[in-house]
Amino acid sequence: MADQPDSDIRLPDPTELSKNMVKIAAQSQRLVTDFLQRQSANGGAGNADPLNIGGAFLEMTARMMADPSKMVEAQLNLWQSYLSLWQNTTARLLGQETKPMVEPSQGDRRFKDAAWDENQVFDFVKQSYLLTARWMQETVRDVDGLDEKTAQKVDFYTRQFVDAMAPSNFVMTNPEVLRTTLESSGENLVRGLDNMLSDLEGGKGQLKIRMTDMDAFHVGRNVAVTPGKVVCQTDLMQLIQYEPTTEQVYKRPLVIAPPWINKFYILDLRPQNSFIKWAVDQGYTVFVISWVNPDESLSDKTFQDYMVEGILAAFDAACEACEVEELTAIGYCLGGTLMAATLAYMAATGDDRIKACTFFTAQVDFSEPGELGVFIDEEQLKYLEQRMEEHGYLDSGAMATTFNMLRANDLIWSFVVNNYLLGKDPFPFDLLYWNSDATRMPPRMHIYYLRNMYQENLLVQPGALTMRNVPIDLTKVTTPVYIQAGKEDHIAPFRSVFKMTRHFRGPTKFMLAGSGHIAGVVNPPASGKYQHWINAKRKTYDDADAWLQDAEEKPGSWWPDWHRWLSKKSGPKVKARVPGDGPLTILEDAPGSYVKVLSED
């Protein structure tokens, strides 16, 4: 008979298995007791449905029941799929060659173990799950009469449920976990429960899944190590000026404003993939804003404060340090949204210091914000306000969970399997260390951003927003801009980023990079990874898909293309500037003290 199950699996030692089952029972009891005690100490579970999921699914159910025939048809289609799967599986058990009815999508690593294909039972479990998952998602998407927001919420949370119920997430239906459990007599589950207890303790009652070995990295020691000095400091940021590596540099300095949802060193993880180091090596005088990790003392800071005490203060300091009146800038993600508002404010006030600006995966038009829009409705914003009022800030875990849910299989369930079911320690990985080093959010700033950008989309409405009592208008910005987007970006979808080209009135260059929100940006030329698309045609496009149809695919990193663009706008070469040689006093060595403040401190 073909496709026999593995016969070389070592059976468990009965004595060891018995001992480990006792340990598992004791650890499980401790987990439940500890959880209940912490919930009681925190006043209970609180709002049972803070995201208003129940209301969305109730409306969907009512719409479905309004057309029973459609529901019956969907059920019949599902049963027909199951029947065909049974027939295929029976034929395979009888030694016949059959083709799978459904296969995992490309890049789905949940079913990479060979047993998912080679073992008839696990192959049936896998295909049964994939058929059901597909049916569930197609069924909810086919419900008529739902408004766009509700339909998007239902679709998103249906996928969350489908991902959570994957057979790979359970001991008895994951061949790798089952095999490991038998071979180790359950020792993997004992270690997994220890890991879970540790994560609960680290999250103070909330399950904070470790993605990497947090002790393997130290900011300033083996990440964020490009040499530089802190030359300016406000309540909201430290400004780092990096030491030159070339004898001459471009006259106009470059100021980078990263997002303050995470820390700046995503652009300076290691020397071999550091965008900051690479830019310094190309002859730019690089300044980077290192945002503060705010606590309750900064609860009244606003979006405008981030402009004044952040970007504008950085511009002033960079000009003073280099003794120039012109410079260039980069805004990344939320830092790019603020940068766009700052450019509009500068245009309104006659400040023309910025001669070129680059945007990394940044949105200004939030009419199609992607899946993050699922989290932005009035009920959820009120819930967020309530949470932030309790502490004076939004805790870092809330933001981290939101972003992780956008890629739940990669950023949640893969670690559940590795850490808790297989009982392994997470692998040391600098990117995941950075991802876990999250930051808090000041309430007034955060709600302003969510309401005015995501909910109301006011930034692209001329005069709808004011900064320092000055109405701002993106159409008044004539600065040349380079716009980077990631083709697989799930946080700032490239079609949304492309809309920026419609609002600025200066020359714009749009470039689409392979990969997503991080790897699409952090892709050094030496890596040889991914690709990017450039469209050299001199025409205006209404949408990103039309632009992409005419674009040319180029292999590898887009950084050299950006350098060719910016170098022409950075002025002549001058003698390299060393931090401290100019008018500004050195405050401390890079990466500074702000970046080292942990959210748990």
Strands 254-257 and 248-250: unpaired
How big is the chain by its Cα radius of gyration, in Å?
27
Q: Is 94 exposed, middle or buried (0-12, 13-18, 19+ CB in 10 A)?
A: exposed
Residues acting as catalytic residues: 333
CA distance 465 to 472: 6
Residue 351, CB half-sphere, CA atoms under 13 Å: how many? 13
Dihedral of CA 330/334/335/340: which sign? positive
Do 318 and 245 touch, CB atoms closer than 8 A? no
Sign, CA dihedral 542-545-550-556, equals positive
532 neighbors 514 (Cβ within 8 angstroms): yes
Sequence-ordered alpha helix ranges (H) in 42-147: 53-65, 68-93, 115-118, 120-141
333 close to 491: Cβ distance less than 8 angstroms: yes
Give the residue from 77, 102, 75, 76 showing the smallest Cα distance to 88: 102
Largest interatomic CA distance in the chain = 83
Which residue in the block uniquely carries the two structure tokens 């995941």? Answer: 432
- 415 vs 113, 163, 490, CA distance in Å? 16, 13, 20
Helix (H) or strand (E) holding 555: strand 552-555
20 exposure class (CB count in 10 Å sphere: 0-12, 13-18, 19+): buried
